[in-house]
Amino acid sequence: MALHSSTSRSTDLEEQAISDTADSLVTPLPNAKFPAGSRPALTTFNLLKQELLLDGNSKQNLATFCQTYESPQVEELMALAVDKNLIDKDEYPQTAEIERRCISMMADLWNAPNDAVGCSTIGSSEAAMLGGLAAKWRWRDSRKAAGKSFDRPNMVCGSVQVCWKKFARYWDIELREVEMTAGELCMSPERMLEQVDENTIVVVPTLGVTYHGLYEDVNAISEALDELQHRKGLDVPIHVDAASGGFLAPFCAPGLAKWDFRLPRVKSINTSGHKFGLAPLGVGWVLWRESSDLPEGLVFHVSYLGGDMPTFQINFSRPAGQIISQYYDFVRLGRDGYKAIHGASYSNAQYVARELEKLGLFDLINDGNPAEGIPTVVWTLRSGIELGFNLYDLAERLRMRGWQVPAYPFTGELADKAFQRILVKRDFSREMADLLLIDIRNAITHFESHPIKTSLSAAEAASCNHLG
């Protein structure tokens, strides 16, 4: 008979001190007061893991612009960097070097001069605010030097994502938003000029407007501002909000009119690494055309972590994994890889658009054309057709199948009309497209048999509204 030794008891003092009792399984997790006692690690982990199952399936989240898939290699890099503080460049010099490489690569991608500078941020919202803040300081310094007042700054933009409204409110800027009309979804040069004056710190065109995904014409806006300077002497800079388009246009729309640092009037550009940059959640980027476009007074030099660390960020300590993963994506994919991945997204978007059009119920606002915008499909109900539902009802019905397909109003003249949108990202396959289309058709069939007596309103559906 074989001899066997009994399994030794754990020598982990924490596990020895905490017994896994039945109480841990029948007592709910604390939700209001800080707990007095402790719980076993494995039990706590399993309970929390089960609670998270109540979240939606991120793969079916077609509302978010953010990535919902990361490779095993990226997940491992994130784990390796979980204890690295990106701000501590003296302690983690190689991570700092990787961040520098990313900035240099984006400067090349966006055709910047040799003197470009930039930094990483938590996301494109922080990056946009830093670009706007630098514009305000440049304008203020210029007004001071000319002996003019600098107490009423304004900025001009189209229908923007909420981060610019936050920026305007937080930094006391008048926001002059060129809202949509029925025939004009993007900010035109003509309507932009109507809002510009000597107190305009910056004009912000968007490369991929949040509401409908279309590109605003940065080149035409720049030319209009050139002509304005020639006529009136007003030198108004441009900041391009390329949160989505910054990692799309260079690969999939090479023929797009100039929008980046090839235009001298473009002083800064922000983008989101965790959107079409394909990085994990928690990274954005902002670049300035030249070092002189970032006022030195905004840069802080700290030494209490060791060494001299210049920083221009709203946040301070933050994880390094997203930056390392972004560099991995750049090196792993290159221009060809980004073009292939995003090209597949555009192809699937256009497929969905064609199939929706066949239903005869929808007018397409964005059909996923890479020359016009980002890989999204946006539609509204065709006028003149009596249906037993609205788009808020359709969104709610699709949510029953796990899909997050938001319905929401636009701005200006279109503030009372509902639109619907899906974002097509790299993990949205043709098979998923077909499954979504089946559920849309089934939802329409259901409404035909069971017309909605009282449809949902925009306010009632607001909790399901995802614009960012």
Query: Mind spelling out the 3-state secondary structure of 103-154?
Result: HHHHHHHCCCCCCCEEEEECCHHHHHHHHHHHHHHHHHHHHHHCCCCCCCCE
In tens, the pLDDT along 168-195 reads 999 999 999 999 999 999 999 999 999 9
**pLDDT: is 312 or 447 the higher one?**
447
Residue 149 in this model has a pLDDT that exceeds 70: yes
In tens, the pLDDT along 385-435 reads 888 899 999 999 999 999 999 999 999 999 999 999 999 999 999 999 999
- Supply the pLDDT for residue 16: 47
Measure the CA–CA gap between 151 and 135, rounded to whole angstroms. 14
Q: Tell me what the pLDDT averaged over the chain comes to.
A: 91
Measure the CA–CA gap between 114 and 356, rounded to whole angstroms. 46
> In the CATH scheme, what is the code of domain 74-329?
3.40.640.10
Burial bucket for residue 454 (CB in 10 Å: 0-12, 13-18, 19+):
exposed
Phi, psi at 183, each rounded to 5°: -105, 5
- Supply the pLDDT for residue 309: 65
- Supply the pLDDT for residue 43: 84
- Supply the pLDDT for residue 19: 53
Mean pLDDT of 71-93: 90
Write down the domain spans for the chain. 74-329, 343-451
Mean pLDDT of 347-367: 98
- Supply the pLDDT for residue 464: 46
- Residues sharing a CB contact under 8 Å with residue 112, sequence separation 6 or more, in sequence order: 260, 261, 287, 289
Residue with tokens 């039945």: 22
In tens, the pLDDT along 94-106 reads 999 999 999 999 9
- Supply the pLDDT for residue 56: 87
Nearest to 87 by CA among 268, 346, 320: 320
In tens, the pLDDT along 14-61 reads 554 455 556 666 778 898 999 998 888 888 888 899 899 999 889 999
Measure the CA–CA gap between 409 and 398, rounded to whole angstroms. 18
Chain mean position to CA 315: 17
Measure the CA–CA gap between 128 and 219, rounded to whole angstroms. 20
- Supply the pLDDT for residue 22: 62
- Supply the pLDDT for residue 466: 44
**pLDDT: is 67 or 463 the higher one?**
67
SS3 for 443? helix
Residue 76 in this model has a pLDDT that exceeds 70: yes
In tens, the pLDDT along 416-430 reads 999 999 999 999 999
* % the chain with pLDDT above 90: 76
Give the torsion sign (CA, 96, 99, 105, 107). negative
SS3 for 257? coil
- Supply the pLDDT for residue 443: 97
User: pLDDT band at 381, cuts 50/70/90?
Assistant: very high
* % the chain with pLDDT above 70: 92
Per-residue DSSP letter, 388 = S
Residue 4 in this model has a pLDDT that exceeds 80: no
- The CATH number of 343-451, from 3.90.1150.160, 3.40.50.261, 3.40.50.10140, 2.60.40.790, is 3.90.1150.160
In tens, the pLDDT along 267-326 reads 999 999 999 999 999 999 999 999 999 999 998 877 655 566 677 888 888 889 999 999
- Supply the pLDDT for residue 305: 57
